[in-house]
Amino acid sequence: MFRDKEFALRVARSIRKLSGHLDEVKIMDFCGTHEWTITHYGIRSMMPENVELVAGPGCPVCITPGYYVKAAVKLAMEGIRVFTYGDAYKLPTGRREEPSSLEEARSMGGKVEIVYSVMDAVKKSRDGRESVFLAVGFETTAPATFIPLKHGEAPNNLSFLVAHRLTPPITRYVLDNFPDNPISGIIAPGHVSTIIGAKAWSFLPKEYGVPTVVSGFEPVDVLLSILEILRQIRDGRPRLVNEYSRAVSWDGNLQAQKLFRDVAQVSDAVWRGIGVVPESGLILSEVYKEQDAETRYGIDDEGWDDLPPGCRCAQVTLGMIKPTDCPMFMKSCTPESPYGPCMVSSEGTCNIWAKHSGASVINLPN
Ligand code: SF4
């Protein structure tokens, strides 16, 4: 069980009581860490029948198009050293040809190295070897990628394959394009909001009438956020609440936001299995093009719909199905041997469900 158990149970009971006044409610959490909290601590089991909690597209590894992986694999096999974070190491290209991931590329002699930070890649590249850093992540990780470029610390032999994505545009996209999947409330991501600020989510209640809470990651944070969303639905007064004010300010990290503007430009971008989402990606600006791996090597971005055949990861990341609805879940697709991208990273919904579903089931006393 978790900290503040008695208080958490009181909040859960308030959720149950309030839900009696409501129709069906579907609340989407955006962040993989929220999904982890909900699944690991059995928060779904505490929900009344008419309150459904679904995961959204909050795992950057899951939505990184396969063509970035394919490009990185090709470079690695040609002898160019590719640096990657560990969570993208097993990410499948989506194609059947071998090697179909950086892990396979390394086992077949490709030059792949796992690093824990961009600065590791920068330091190692000072040996002069031609190298590429595969930069995956949302607004939280993008500043780390951009700092060595901005400060002139990245040697010219190191280029960047930038697959960073922005979170508010995909949330807008989900609400605009899937009317059959109505979302009644959104638990906005905590980590991302430390960078972009709570204000980045104000469009959700204003333009879409969707109650929105920026939430922390303790079970109590998530339960309080759910309760707040239900209250807003009951009262018919959608608004933005920052439940995570101990870490997230209204304006966010202004220095990091300036870094985005200095080093990158916003562009339309592909989300794996989902398609092109307007203004949802970051590309390096002209000043830094020389160290842009896409420019340096030319990247074939064909085939955005590149999930491995039969993988339903896109529907999982859009909150339309549960991982257990996929016939491959825990059969031909497991955390040890992932078939689709949502099973690769510890932030992927399928991976979280595989490791933590059933870890806790809370029988709520009356
Ligand atoms: S269980 Fe595997 S194959 Fe199925 S949706 Fe998830 S990642 Fe894709």
Tokens 């069906």 identify what position? 24
Tell how far the Cα of 56 is from the centroid of ligand 1, in angstroms: 15
Q: According to the model, what pLDDT value does residue 305 have? A: 58
β-sheet with 51-55: strand ranges across: 51-55, 25-29, 185-188, 212-214, 240-242
Q: According to the model, what pLDDT value does residue 247 have? A: 96
User: Which atom number of ligand 1 is nearest to the Cα of residue 326?
Assistant: 4
List 160's β-bridge partners, or say none.
Answer: 133, 292
Which of 59, 343, 344, 346 is the pocket-test mutation for ligand 1 (most atoms within 8 Å of CB)?
343
Tell how far the Cα of 156 is from the centroid of ligand 1, in angstroms: 39
List 212's β-bridge partners, or say none.
Answer: 186, 240
Q: According to the model, what pLDDT value does residue 360 have? A: 60
Provide the token pair at 253: 């990290």
User: Can you tell me the distance from the alpha carbon of 250 to that of 4, in angstroms, rounded to the nearest whole number?
Assistant: 27
User: Can you tell me the distance from the alpha carbon of 318 to that of 326, in angstroms, rounded to the nearest whole number?
Assistant: 14
Q: According to the model, what pLDDT value does residue 299 have? A: 79
User: Which atom number of ligand 1 is nearest to the Cα of residue 333?
Assistant: 2
Q: What is the pLDDT of residues 290-332, one digit of tens each?
A: 999 999 998 776 655 588 899 999 999 999 999 999 999 999 9
Tell how far the Cα of 90 is from the centroid of ligand 1, in angstroms: 14
Provide the token pair at 66: 């396969």
User: Can you tell me the distance from the alpha carbon of 138 to that of 281, in angstroms, rounded to the nearest whole number?
Assistant: 9
User: Can you tell me the distance from the alpha carbon of 261 to that of 194, in angstroms, rounded to the nearest whole number?
Assistant: 17
Phi, psi of 347 (to 5 degrees): -95, -5
User: Which atom number of ligand 1 is nearest to the Cα of residue 344?
Assistant: 7
User: Which atom number of ligand 1 is nearest to the Cα of residue 354?
Assistant: 1
Report the SS3 class of residue 54.
strand
Report the SS3 class of residue 43.
coil
Tabulate helix, strand, coil % of the chain (nearest 5).
40, 15, 40
DSSP class of 340: S
User: Which atom number of ligand 1 is nearest to the Cα of residue 330?
Assistant: 1
Instruction: List ligand 1's pocket residues with C-beta within 6 A.
Output: 311-313, 316, 323, 326, 328-329, 333, 339-340, 342-343, 350
Tell how far the Cα of 340 is from the centroid of ligand 1, in angstroms: 5
List 213's β-bridge partners, or say none.
Answer: 187, 241
Q: According to the model, what pLDDT value does residue 97 have? A: 73
Q: According to the model, what pLDDT value does residue 361 have? A: 60
Tell how far the Cα of 349 is from the centroid of ligand 1, in angstroms: 9
Provide the token pair at 172: 């807008």
Ligand 1: residue whose CA is nearest its atom 1: 329
Task: Give the burial class of 21: count Cβ atoms within 10 A of its Cβ; 0-12 exposed, 13-18 middle, 19 or more buried.
Answer: exposed
Cβ–Cβ < 8 Å for 297, 75 = yes
**Full DSSP string of 131-188:** EEEEEEESTTTHHHHHHHHHTT-S-TTEEEEEEEB-HHHHHHHHHHH-TTS---EEEE
Task: Please give the residue that has the higher pLDDT: either 96 or 184.
Answer: 184
Provide the token pair at 354: 């595989």
Tell how far the Cα of 344 is from the centroid of ligand 1, in angstroms: 9
User: Which helix or strand (DSSP H or E) is residue 265 part of?
Assistant: strand 264-271
Q: According to the model, what pLDDT value does residue 359 have? A: 56
Tell how far the Cα of 74 is from the centroid of ligand 1, in angstroms: 25
Cβ–Cβ < 8 Å for 313, 63 = no
Q: According to the model, what pLDDT value does residue 304 have? A: 54
% the chain with pLDDT above 90: 83
Q: What is the pLDDT of residues 171-228, one digit of tens each?
A: 999 999 988 889 999 999 999 999 999 999 999 999 999 999 999 999 999 999 999 9
Rounded to 10 degrees, the C-alpha dihedral 176/346/87/198 comes to: 50
Ligand 1: residue whose CA is nearest its atom 7: 340
* The model's pTM: 0.92
User: Can you tell me the distance from the alpha carbon of 289 to that of 175, in angstroms, rounded to the nearest whole number?
Assistant: 34
Average the pLDDT over 226-249 and give the result.
97
Question: What mean pLDDT value characterizes the chain?
Answer: 92
Tell how far the Cα of 274 is from the centroid of ligand 1, in angstroms: 15
* Intra-chain end-to-end CA distance of the chain, in Å: 18
Which of 54, 316, 337, 352 is the pocket-test mutation for ligand 1 (most atoms within 8 Å of CB)?
316
Which of 328, 334, 346, 355 is the pocket-test mutation for ligand 1 (most atoms within 8 Å of CB)?
328
Which of 87, 101, 274, 342 is the pocket-test mutation for ligand 1 (most atoms within 8 Å of CB)?
342
Domains of the chain (ranges, CATH numbers): 5-60+178-242 (3.40.50.11750), 62-166+252-297 (3.40.50.11740), 313-355 (no CATH)
Q: What is the pLDDT of residues 339-359, one digit of tens each?
A: 999 999 899 999 999 998 755
Average the pLDDT over 67-89 and give the result.
94
User: Which atom number of ligand 1 is nearest to the Cα of residue 338?
Assistant: 2
Tell how far the Cα of 17 is from the centroid of ligand 1, in angstroms: 35
User: Can you tell me the distance from the alpha carbon of 314 to that of 271, in angstroms, rounded to the nearest whole number?
Assistant: 9
Among 321, 252, 283, which Cα is nearest to 165's? 283
Tell how far the Cα of 249 is from the centroid of ligand 1, in angstroms: 36
Cβ–Cβ < 8 Å for 88, 61 = yes
Cα separations in angstroms, 47 against 24, 121, 274, 305, 354: 12, 45, 29, 34, 20
